Amino acid sequence: MLIGDAFGFLDPLYSSGVLLALKSGELAADAVVEGFEKGDTSEAQLGRWGEDFNRGVDRMRRLVCEYYDGFHFGHFVRAYPHLRNTITDLLIGDLFTDRVDVVWEPMESQYPPGRAPIPAWNAGAPAETIQDKEPELVLPAGPTR
């Protein structure tokens, strides 16, 4: 079983690496314990946490990409003060809940005309390989500010 950086490494911009290493260790340990309890140590059982984990990592990856492409925390919370706590939650690693996804649309509303949203980490990967594709940072073409 791969956890931490061996599972996937994200740009350390927002210092998420230790959190993600601990979180994946916790999820992997739960899958092992549950596997022993059920007498099931198959790949499916031991890897069952991967998809949700990737979804969480992708939220941090997107925040990193938005930053490199011109996102400004000050401008954002001035325009959307009710989202200040949510953006803080994301930054401190509250990544494993879709509650925080309310920030993306307002973020996109601040894009300059013509700019496309940041693609998901597995965008463009053939369907049959998505399961196996590791998280990776896809940097935008260049800063727009």
Ligand X SMILES: Cc1cc2nc3c(=O)[nH]c(=O)nc-3n(C[C@H](O)[C@H](O)[C@H](O)COP(=O)(O)OP(=O)(O)OC[C@H]3O[C@@H](n4cnc5c(N)ncnc54)[C@H](O)[C@@H]3O)c2cc1C
- Report the interface residues with ligand X, using CB under 6 A: 4-6, 12, 15-19, 21
Provide, rounded to whole angstroms, the least separation between the CB of residue 21 and ligand X. 4
Distance in Å, CB of 94 to ligand X, minimum: 15
- Which residue has 């340990």 as its token pair? 29
Question: Rounded to the nearest whole angstrom, what is the least distance from the CB of residue 13 to ligand X in the complex?
Answer: 9
For 139: left if phi > 0, alpha if psi spans -120 to 50, otherwise beta; the answer is beta
Q: What residue has token string 């001035």?
A: 78
- The residue among 40 and 136 lying less far from ligand X, judged by its C-beta, is 136
Radius of gyration of the chain measured on its C-alpha atoms? 17
Query: Quick one: CA torsion of 84, 90, 92, 97, rounded to 10 degrees?
Result: 120
In this complex, which beta carbon is closest to ligand X, that of residue 5 or of residue 52?
A: 5
Q: How far is the CB of 19 from ligand X (least distance, A)?
A: 6
Look at residues 142, 134, 140 and name the one whose alpha carbon lies nearest to residue 10: 134
Q: Which is nearer to ligand X, 1 or 21 (CB)?
A: 21
Q: Which is nearer to ligand X, 92 or 125 (CB)?
A: 92
3-state SS track over 91-121: HCCCCCCHHHHHHHHHHHHCCCCCCCCCCCC
